[in-house]
Structure 1
């Protein structure tokens, strides 16, 4: 019996999971599926980001809606703390639906409100969204939650940290008492248990122990590199890695196009996908990549969603991911089906704090590597050529060329003929002149900042001011121009608060609020280190 059949999953869902490369459930899925598929209890799941929690709640919801689908109205709501996570969760749930008759739609600030309203009116089964956007639609009576059967709160502790508790409670008040409530969180603060007590019926708590969130079959490493040297570093990596077959992730469509163009000019077997290419072109590129005709695929995160290839050797983060979720999703594309994989991340000096955050949040070790020098690359190129020829000899695949080889050896000494043949076929592959000089950037730690490139800031605003955590963050972001996504670890006390940001953003914030405090003291300043 297929292991997924033991959980009562339908054949359609099992087929989708196998196509996506799933061989067995993750620990959180093993614990939650039996409860949620029976649909008899509410559930609190405690697990870290990247543990497979979207499938843990998404698959049972899809399965149960397929068994008993009623009418054209919203039947399930999934609440996410950020636009990026909402898009990701919506896409992943939709991938579990496949071609079956379940509609999934994601709403968030920044896209057309009118289009969202029109789509919702046409009939949605599963709605994924951010608290603020859902509140907007509720206020305008554009959505009706009176008939929902499932309410999911994803990354609950993150929502509390961002000050969404009031929005969450407002949304819950618009839902029926009789529904299945599912709550996922990495930690379990008192406020979350309060939500459970007030809004959940009989519930079960599942806790998956913290562990490394990235696969043991994936070797993780990073290079510290100047932004202008990234492409040169990529050439060197492609030339030293054996049998490279992987995805190179870039942040923007422009980066994808520029890198694809430069790789092709250098003679690498590369192609690219992003949101602006046509569907026909996308399908052609993906088919060539899946069949192995193309060995290097450059892509954005959004364009690569839904692309499942089980035998990738490498994933390269040409641009470091903005969050842990993206990192785990990217590198999870290699090291599948019991095979080993390699994940490489390019880290610029200003992004050092991000790689430290990823290591801390995934509880994994990412090894720093030295930039390979030219002499090492030449040695690796020679080794690869000798190994490749050795394999042909071992497998007796040289027979058809024997007569030609004898003719060639009549031209001159054997070493001269072989050297000329290498030059003809490999062109300048073994020429050191094709590589540009690059060196690792020097990083000087400022005494004002922590070793990981982050800064802890003191903010002279606390609970006594009457402002919520979200209002404090909004005030800081509006006054400094810093994105709220870059503010981490907010701690609000009675008279003051603490935030953690990267060194560059900390300078912007401190500079912006230098003269805005009371009594001549800046509103924001560098927090004193504990003695």
Structure 2
């Protein structure tokens, strides 16, 4: 018998979650579900992300609601679009065997008319972000007078994002006798106040000590000089060839700049932040879930609700302003009982903040050393050896080529062949890390590679500024444009400086040495039936001021391919190729109407 049955969940729901692989309840599910099934208490649940909170409240809701009634009976409020969609998907999966069960997701960045139509068709559970929910209420398009349960998920983050007034307005439309269930990873005073305001003698359940982190996460910090942070970050990534991580930055601008720099340096990365439209965000997340991305660069708010399995590392490129947010960040890894690593890259002045975080999460950080060049090369070499050893051989397809391959290698010994295959990748890292400096703070030995500095370019005299008659109205993002320039101009990403994407045109910088080559290469290029023009920016009689940095939006590499010289396919850190080709994104639009991310 599935243990969920003993908690009071009926068989059609248990059968559905068994198909999803639910075999044993997590601690919060085991303790919360029996309490919530009584339907008689307000409830406060404190537990870290990744502990199964959605099922903890979703399964009881499915037990308690009357699905023969086609009006809203439960409202789930959460801070972000991603979390809204994830909760909706999960509850729909749990309810697949329940006849007439309707769950509607309401969030900004998508068509409000489609959401209104779904509501009019009938709905028992509404999962919503506060901003869009308030818009629909203001249109008098939904009636919450018969709502029996309200769930506030990630309550601390909703308050951090400035949704207090919206929550007040929304809850004022619900009955006084409803039951309120609040779930949060941390319990700051703001959450305590909202619990006191909307609840009566709630049952409080705390998994572990309040605000503590997941015990399966190892916490490490690296101390570097500010000027070496980007170089140190890349070296940490190179030292972990199988990394599948989320990198947290403090601002949208920092997120965009790091993602763009990583693409130029050949890494398989993309950014996620509040300036992206829902379509763009969906495409980024689709690539990340499919693991065609290795690194997701994100702001705190944009990453809320990301539920991706097997994230190996969380890297804090910048520590969060709010100590509690570190708990949310690190909770992106080590989900569902697995292990993970949370890394902080800091300068010596931030050691005090590390000690504060240690007190909050109840766990000590390990001080780690930035690996030297030799260590990185060794790690990459054996990652390649491991990959070759475990590669799946398609015997049927490869058989026809074996005679020619053997003939090609007939003058080489087995040892020679092994050396040459290993050297294909090893030589590249050996060359890159030759004479690499020690990046750990407090040691000034060695020299600093200008190629490791971030940002490396923009506005320097060795760059030529060019004009192109394509822009954002042609469905280009900055990442798409970077790939387009590299592919068509036959240059590497490192040769491109700042890209200033406008509506119907773009200014971009390339190294002086390749400026003529780029202009010549574009002379015969058409884009969607239109001739592409490249001119010196000065010839236009119009210079851009460099663009509003706050408007930058990284799009994640266009669908343009080439070799390493053309800036297309890049070798990945495990010996394969980084193919950062991605589908072009739509223009930004929509979103919840709260704080800028």
**TM range, smaller chain:** 0.5 to 0.7
Change in CA separation of 1:271 and 1:67 when aligned onto 2, cut-off 3 Å: same
- Structure 2: 5+ residue stretches without partners: 94-100, 443-597
**Within 2, Cα distance between the matches of 1:299 and 1:197?**
33
**Within 1, Cα distance between the matches of 2:264 and 2:155?**
48
CA-CA distance at 1:359 after TM superposition: 3.1
Partner of 1:430: 430
**Do 1:28 and 1:208's aligned partners in 2 also have CA atoms closer than 8 Å?**
yes
SS of 2:367 mapped into structure 1: strand
Picking from 389, 407, 413, the partner of 2:411 is 407
SS of 2:412 mapped into structure 1: helix
Matches of residues 231-242 of structure 1 in structure 2 within 5 Å? 231-242=230-241
Q: Spell out, residue by residue over 1:127-165, the C-alpha distance to the aligned partner (whole angstroms, 9 max, x if none).
A: 6577x9999999998986532212446688999999999
Change in CA separation of 1:273 and 1:34 when aligned onto 2, cut-off 3 Å: same
SS of 1:343 mapped into structure 2: strand
Query: How many residues in Structure 1 have an aligned counterpart in Structure 2?
Result: 421
Change in CA separation of 1:357 and 1:46 when aligned onto 2, cut-off 3 Å: farther
Range moving further from structure 2, 121-130 or 88-97? 121-130
**Within 2, Cα distance between the matches of 1:37 and 1:148?**
16
**Do 1:135 and 1:167's aligned partners in 2 also have CA atoms closer than 8 Å?**
yes
Matches of residues 449-528 of structure 1 in structure 2 within 5 Å? none
CA-CA distance at 1:430 after TM superposition: 0.9
**Within 2, Cα distance between the matches of 1:300 and 1:17?**
35
SS of 1:430 mapped into structure 2: helix
Change in CA separation of 1:187 and 1:248 when aligned onto 2, cut-off 3 Å: closer
SS of 1:146 mapped into structure 2: coil
**Do 1:319 and 1:345's aligned partners in 2 also have CA atoms closer than 8 Å?**
yes
Q: Spell out, residue by residue over 1:341-397, the C-alpha distance to the aligned partner (whole angstroms, 9 max, x if none).
A: 3232333567656544443333233323222233433444455456667x479x9x9
Q: Spell out, residue by residue over 1:270-290, the C-alpha distance to the aligned partner (whole angstroms, 9 max, x if none).
A: 455566668787677656655
Partner of 1:222: 221
SS of 2:62 mapped into structure 1: helix
**Within 1, Cα distance between the matches of 2:378 and 2:81?**
45
SS of 1:431 mapped into structure 2: helix
Matches of residues 339-350 of structure 1 in structure 2 within 5 Å? 339-348=338-347
The two structures have a TM-score, normalised by structure 2, of 0.52
Matches of residues 58-207 of structure 1 in structure 2 within 5 Å? 58-60=57-59, 62-64=61-63, 67-68=66-67, 70-73=69-72, 75-77=73-75, 85=79, 90=84, 93-98=87-92, 101-105=102-106, 125-126=125-126, 145-152=144-151, 175-183=174-182, 200=200, 204-207=203-206
Change in CA separation of 1:22 and 1:285 when aligned onto 2, cut-off 3 Å: farther
CA-CA distance at 1:240 after TM superposition: 1.7
Matches of residues 214-293 of structure 1 in structure 2 within 5 Å? 214-251=213-250, 254-271=253-270, 289-290=288-289, 292=291
Change in CA separation of 1:359 and 1:78 when aligned onto 2, cut-off 3 Å: farther
Q: Spell out, residue by residue over 1:455-487, the C-alpha distance to the aligned partner (whole angstroms, 9 max, x if none).
A: xxxxxxxxxxxxxxxxxxxxxxxxxxxxxxxxx
Q: Spell out, residue by residue over 1:281-305, the C-alpha distance to the aligned partner (whole angstroms, 9 max, x if none).
A: 7677656655555544445566666
**Within 2, Cα distance between the matches of 1:166 and 1:314?**
35
Partner of 1:510: none
Change in CA separation of 1:160 and 1:260 when aligned onto 2, cut-off 3 Å: closer
**Within 2, Cα distance between the matches of 1:321 and 1:13?**
40
- Structure 1: 5+ residue stretches without partners: 443-531
**Higher relative CO (CA 8 A, sep ≥ 6), structure 1 or 2?**
2
SS of 1:182 mapped into structure 2: strand
CA-CA distance at 1:218 after TM superposition: 2.9
Partner of 2:26: 26
SS of 1:45 mapped into structure 2: strand
Change in CA separation of 1:72 and 1:266 when aligned onto 2, cut-off 3 Å: same
Q: Spell out, residue by residue over 1:475-509, the C-alpha distance to the aligned partner (whole angstroms, 9 max, x if none).
A: xxxxxxxxxxxxxxxxxxxxxxxxxxxxxxxxxxx
Change in CA separation of 1:278 and 1:9 when aligned onto 2, cut-off 3 Å: farther
C-alpha RMSD over aligned residues: 5.7
CA-CA distance at 1:237 after TM superposition: 1.4
**Within 2, Cα distance between the matches of 1:255 and 1:223?**
19
**Within 2, Cα distance between the matches of 1:244 and 1:409?**
34
